[in-house]
Amino acid sequence: MNRKTVIFTLLAVLWCGFIFFLSSENSEQSSQRSDGIIRTVCETFNSDFKDYSPQRQDEIISDLSFWVRKGAHFSAYAVLGALAFQAFCFMKKKLLRSTAAVGAACLYAVSDEIHQSFSPGRSAELRDILIDTCGAAIAVCISLLVIRLIDRKRSTKAGTVSA
C-alpha cells in the first residue's frame, strides 16, 4: 500500500469518527449546535439581526434549520466521498474507483443513520442517506474533473516542452 492510500484512508476513518460523534448527540444537543451556527451566520451577515425580537430571531432560525441540517449532511459526506476517492487511488480504473468511493460513503451513511436512531430523539431517515450519497457522488465527480484538468494541463505542458 502506498503512502497516499494510507494517509487518505486514515483521514477518511478520522472523518467517519467525526460524523459518528455528531450522530451520537441527542436531538436537543444537535438542534442547539445547528441553531448556534445559524445564529452566528445571521449575526455575521445581517447587522440588524440582533435588533430583531427574540421571537423573530427564533422564527428565522427555525426557517433555516432544515436547510442547514441537510446541507451539513451533504457537505460532510462530500468530504467523505473526496477522501474515499483518494484512499482508493490504488484502483487505476476511474469508474471502479469512483464506484468504490461512493459505495463506501453510502454504506457508511446507512450505518450512521442506524447508529443515529439510537440517540435520544433522533431517527434514521432514508432521505438523509440519499442526501449523504449525493454529497459523496458530487465530490467524486468534482475529483474526476480536477484529475482530468490536471492531466490535460500536464499533456499540454509536455507537448509544448517537446516541440
Each residue's pLDDT tens digit in the chain (163 positions)? 799 999 999 999 999 999 999 999 999 999 999 999 999 999 999 999 999 999 999 999 999 999 999 999 999 999 999 999 999 999 999 999 999 999 999 999 999 999 999 999 999 999 999 999 999 999 999 999 999 999 898 888 877 654 4
Question: 41-80 as b/e, with b when 16 or more CB fall inside 10 Å?
Answer: ebeeeeeebeeeeeeebeebbeebeeeebeebbbebbbbb
Domain ranges of the chain: 3-162
